[in-house]
Structure 1
Amino acid sequence: MNVPVVRSRATAAAVAAGVAAGALVGCSSTDDQVPSIGYAIDNALTTYNAQTVDGAASGARQAFPRVQTGFSYLGPEGEALSDNDIGGVAVVPADVLTVSYTIAPQATYSDGVPMTCDDLVLTWAANSGRFVAGENDLPLFDSASSAGYSDIDRVDCVSGSKEATVVFRAGRSYEGWRSLFGATELLPAHVVARVADVPNVVDPIQTGDLAAVGRIADFWNVGWTLTPGQVDTTLLPSNGPYKVDSYGEDGGLVLVANDKWWGVPPETERIVVYPKGTDVQAQVDAGDLEVIDHGAGGTMPSDGFERTDYPSHGVEQLTLATSGMLAPAAARRALALCVPRAQLFEEVGHPGFDEPAGIGSGLVDSRLVQSNTLLYGPVAATADGRYREPDTGASTAELNGANLDGITVRIGYLAPDPRRSEIVADIAAACAPSGVVVEDASSPEFGPGALRAGAVDAVLGSTASATGPAGAVSDEAARYSLRSGVGSNIGGYVNGRVDAIIDRLAVETDDASALSLATEGERILWNDMPSLPLFNQPRSLAAAEGMSNVVANPTIAGVGWNMDRWILHR
């Protein structure tokens, strides 16, 4: 993986920090390079599978981008960049979008098993939404998002081969196809086949053998769960520069250099990933922590560290239930009308930076397009200035119109989180006069599945309910979290017209058509209120003195996107 030049203002500071750190140790010998680096993230590490609903909201994408490599990775500009270590990708001339994938001949997992096209078939099957069962046709795979994969008609692959041809459905030339089969999306199909007791995953998927596919899905959904002290590394082979060595209650998740890696070896032999809940200051004091990748607002060390604050592509938001207390759209609008959005942005939305325009410059008034795009202005205008300041009268009127004396809204998020705690407290204070009682329902074990289970009424998180970093240049993760039948749509929102708009935007190339579609969609969404966007999630990176090549990444990949290039000298 080549490290690209970073040009954005927010990440340039981190690059400068890396360059400065490198300059400080420029005269040092390799003897003073530290063989282990500690890396703290602001999310739970509960699974090796970043594609399930809970996995996508977890810290898996921060921890494993250089453990589970793919044909692309998210660089610090937010774009999907090619990873040529894995192989080559080429568009094949055809009547429909057809893409050829060739896996590098030397590509091998850390357990010695070659990478094959079976891995691509598994990824497509798990995320396509095609495999369902039962009277209600429920998906067998608990996939977070079908974006792009549901547009694929088939993946031509002979099990064990290094080549695959991906054929899209007619009229479904997915605009973001270059991001498919990327880092943290390709998982070892040979492990699944072994546990599911099938010769390979390709044959049952291609023939539609639902009994076998069901066993494959059972493992894919929960078989890669990570429990400290109980990790079976035979289930976790790596195709990247690092592999999982251990996971302890106090020792963090230990990644070590993968001796089967065929690319440029990692600069540092060992990376220890510390999940949310770690006593950061204690680890710093012990000399075991050098890189911290957290949402802004938490405690960060100052002595011996250089800090960078920057906005991310992820949007801090409330994802609302569409059942229970918030089943009526009027109840959801009543909550939105009393949320002090402008106050929240000013108090916690841009700590350490003031962006004049685009990402991080103010409230976000669109769910379908990002604030640094040409379409944002007219699309965001559909909000018409509403929902910025608390409007007690309008909020109460919505409740009265729905024959509701008042509502109680339990807002959940992964604790502890000082910034989100402050947000919920401010919402509770502003909403009380309207008859909207807001309760903080956070916990250290919280996951977005709590909303699906009815344990909370709203989730406070980033794009697609992620606790930590989220988003990318592509809008698809945000859009598909509002599409019916998609796992990341944890609020259960259903609107057929919105589904059609999201599907069309995924393949639309004409700006005028995209503007018309997004404007119509946003008008519906502000009325239905399945979610309430706040502002771009602010992030903080702290790197210890002596660190080189630590580069902020304002996407779901987080700072760990290039951890194999990190160097620490003392």
Structure 2
Amino acid sequence: MPASHSTRRGAPTRHGRTAAVSGAGLLATVLLAGTLVGCAEEGEQIPSIGYAIDNTVTTYNANTVAGAVSGARQAFARVLPGFNYTGPEGGPVADSDIGTANAMPGDALTIQYKLNPNSVYSDGVPMSCDDLVLTWAANSGRFTRRNDQGATVPMFDAASTAGYADIDRIDCQTGAKDAVVTFKAGRNVTDWKSLFGATSMMPAHVVATATGVPDIVSAVQNSDTAALTRVADFWNTGWTMTPGDLDLALFPASGPYKVESLSADEGLVLVANDRWWGNRPATSRIVVWPKSSDVSARIGDGAVEVVDVAAGSVPDLDLGGFDVTEVASRSVEQFVLSTSGLFENAAGRRAFAACLPRDELASKFGLAAEPDTDGADSGGPVDTRVTAPDSLVHQSVAGAVGGRYETADTAAATAALADTDNTTATVRIGYLGPNPRRAEIVSAVAAACAPAGITVQDVASPDFTPSMLRSGQVDVVLAGTASAPGAAGTAAATTAMYALRSGNGSNFGDYSNSRVDQIVDQLAVDDSTATQLSLSTEAENILWSDVPTVPLFDQPRTVAFASGLQAGAVNPTVSGAGWNMDRWVLRR
């Protein structure tokens, strides 16, 4: 049997995610995991390490709508690093190998970014502030065009505009190593240190070559629509990764690893980047095995030494010979509802929410935990969407919503369904499969909702994407924060909040409420306790009435390191265990 232990970020309460003591609990877990896997006896170093994740790897660009819900951030954190990365505690950690980011004095938030003078891509082209300008342009939502229906839509298919939409300008001379980023007046974004982070900065020179736009900085500064249209078209789809068919010239790396190949049989192969200017990676080859590769079989074949998956998500998972940690992640398992069809009317969404046994689902499928020392209940469902899990106001906001939709209420579901002029309804729930735990969740929901006249269908598939909600192929997505099938979440509520904002790419249900938009915009720039408490409580009351999503519980993650692997450290965030893969060493 594998050695294993469970941990929490902090003591869970009935109506909130965790208490404010959560940081110490996770740090202890990381240190324990590192100790357990770092004290192996000396032996011959293995030159290649396999890393299994519970998501797909379909694109190099983690910033598109498709990329943000893929495993790109797990796979490429040390291939495309940035000015920061998401550490095990969930917050941004400065990455001085890439450069520095320092606030400058002035009324408007102004940040000076300086790239490391030695920073260069694996193809020999230096990193430059062009990369920052491209990142801002793509994620700002500033540049638009008309679609086939005549509607105005963003040029760039960005998953989120959080933070970047608040930037007024970037002062950058084409090819330079430094830039000054100035935010709009009054938009002092509190989470600015997360901007331009790992996997966010794509190589601008690749776009320039592919599109024939030699100076992307000038195109952005001059709002050159024709040039930016070509840039956007490439940014949206040009980094799609097709197994067996990669033009490696399109995928240069700025980190300790670079992409060597991608195939169904051999996985995503990362090898040491010989142009990397920082500490050399401790192991020269990492193979990322996505969900589609049959992780259980790969473990049986001895091809996997690191596993980072949602608990219960991989069929027939045998982790004998691994040190195993189960930890509550920063991602919230949730249902994301459509706003069309049956769910066009909020009454339909309320009918579905009313028949859900959220309390039972949290108890059965969330991470088991001991009661808090103050006697608070443990294992309750998550009741908030817009507060940071460790914030001072989290408990108060969670308690203020009164535990709505906590237990299945057939009468309330039937009444709400009648308000839609229906006595019966069919709800299709989609998720990335196979996933035994999510299949059990859907089965439990089907049993609970049937008495209310709601037939629940499980329509999971290996090809599922959350965009199927937007196209009407499913009615509900079962996933984590911002509809991510795999690793997700940070210590800040930024990603979760913006997934509820009108027009945001990660808002797959196309939910729109102007007051919620105003609240999200204000919470992003005002971190005072009074404002956070007041606006977050107001937002939750609106959201529990409109029910665009139904949060369930903190998604438990299973993180496992093979015996003999050193420097493995649990990171239950969007980064996953691969956040420090360049430090992994396996000896046997």
Task: Find the partner of 1:109 among 105, 121, 135.
Answer: 121
User: 2:27 aligned with 1:15, yes or no?
Assistant: no
Distance 2:185 2:377 in 1: 35
Residue of structure 2 in register with 1:339 after alignment: 356
Cα deviation, residue 355, structure 1? 6.9
Residue of structure 2 in register with 1:97 after alignment: 109
Cα deviation, residue 7, structure 1? 6.2
Which amino acid letter does the alignment assign opposite residue 99 of structure 1?
I
Distance 2:110 2:420 in 1: 50
Residue of structure 2 in register with 1:289 after alignment: 304
Residue of structure 2 in register with 1:493 after alignment: 511
Task: Find the partner of 1:67 among 69, 79, 89.
Answer: 79
Residue of structure 2 in register with 1:304 after alignment: 321
Distance 1:556 1:21 in 2: 22
Q: Which moves more between the two structures, 89-98 or 472-481?
A: 89-98
Distance 1:277 1:426 in 2: 25
User: 2:169 aligned with 1:169, yes or no?
Assistant: no
5+ long unaligned stretches in structure 1: 1-5
Structure 2 CA distance for partners of 1:124 and 1:349, relative to 1, 3 Å: same
Deviations 1:494-531 (A, max 9, x none): 11000000000000131111111111111111000000
Residues 40 and 566, structure 2, Cα contact 8 Å, conserved in 1? no
Distance 1:14 1:283 in 2: 25
Residue of structure 2 in register with 1:215 after alignment: 230
Residues 241 and 261, structure 1, Cα contact 8 Å, conserved in 2? yes
Deviations 1:22-73 (A, max 9, x none): 3222xx26xx000100000000011001011111011000000000000000
Residue of structure 1 in register with 2:482 after alignment: 464
Residue of structure 2 in register with 1:375 after alignment: 393
Q: Which moves more between the two structures, 400-409 or 33-42?
A: 400-409
Distance 1:354 1:156 in 2: 52
Residue of structure 2 in register with 1:512 after alignment: 530
Residue of structure 1 in register with 2:61 after alignment: 49
For 1:521-532, what aligned pairs fall within 5 Å after superposition? 521-532=539-550
Task: Find the partner of 2:419 among 392, 396, 401.
Answer: 401
Deviations 1:220-263 (A, max 9, x none): 11111111111111100000000000001110000000000000
Cα deviation, residue 14, structure 1? 4.5
User: 2:404 aligned with 1:386, yes or no?
Assistant: yes
Residue of structure 2 in register with 1:139 after alignment: 154
Which amino acid letter does the alignment assign opposite residue 496 of structure 2?
A
User: 2:106 aligned with 1:82, yes or no?
Assistant: no
5+ long unaligned stretches in structure 2: 1-21
Residues 229 and 248, structure 1, Cα contact 8 Å, conserved in 2? yes
1:24 aligned counterpart, secondary structure: coil
Residues 30 and 571, structure 2, Cα contact 8 Å, conserved in 1? no
Distance 1:21 1:206 in 2: 50
Deviations 1:166-209 (A, max 9, x none): 00000000000001000000110000111111112111111011
User: 2:342 aligned with 1:330, yes or no?
Assistant: no
Deviations 1:338-385 (A, max 9, x none): 01111111111115x447399994311011114433212221234312
User: 2:198 aligned with 1:186, yes or no?
Assistant: no
Which amino acid letter does the alignment assign opposite residue 94 of structure 2?
S
Task: Find the partner of 2:498 among 472, 480, 489.
Answer: 480
Distance 1:386 1:520 in 2: 15
Which amino acid letter does the alignment assign opposite residue 119 of structure 2?
A
Distance 2:435 2:106 in 1: 51
Residue of structure 2 in register with 1:549 after alignment: 567
Residue of structure 2 in register with 1:275 after alignment: 290
Residues 121 and 202, structure 1, Cα contact 8 Å, conserved in 2? yes
Cα deviation, residue 414, structure 1? 0.3
2:292 aligned counterpart, secondary structure: coil
Task: Find the partner of 1:349 among 361, 366, 378.
Answer: 366
Structure 2 CA distance for partners of 1:277 and 1:360, relative to 1, 3 Å: farther
Residue of structure 1 in register with 2:435 after alignment: 417
Deviations 1:295-341 (A, max 9, x none): 00134323211110000111100010111221010000000000111
Residues 15 and 550, structure 1, Cα contact 8 Å, conserved in 2? no
Distance 1:110 1:371 in 2: 38
Which amino acid letter does the alignment assign opposite residue 231 of structure 1?
L
1:277 aligned counterpart, secondary structure: helix
Distance 2:515 2:211 in 1: 39
2:66 aligned counterpart, secondary structure: helix
Which amino acid letter does the alignment assign opposite residue 248 of structure 2?
T
Distance 1:388 1:7 in 2: 27
Distance 2:474 2:304 in 1: 34
CA RMSD, 1 decimal: 1.6
Distance 2:52 2:389 in 1: 29
Cα deviation, residue 12, structure 1? 3.0
Residues 311 and 359, structure 1, Cα contact 8 Å, conserved in 2? no
What TM-score, normalized to structure 1? Answer: 0.96
Residue of structure 2 in register with 1:442 after alignment: 460
Which amino acid letter does the alignment assign opposite residue 40 of structure 1?
A
Q: Which moves more between the two structures, 228-237 or 300-309?
A: 300-309
Which amino acid letter does the alignment assign opposite residue 376 of structure 1?
H
User: 2:547 aligned with 1:535, yes or no?
Assistant: no
2:581 aligned counterpart, secondary structure: helix
User: 2:273 aligned with 1:261, yes or no?
Assistant: no
Structure 2 CA distance for partners of 1:15 and 1:355, relative to 1, 3 Å: farther
Cα deviation, residue 552, structure 1? 0.7
Cα deviation, residue 159, structure 1? 0.8
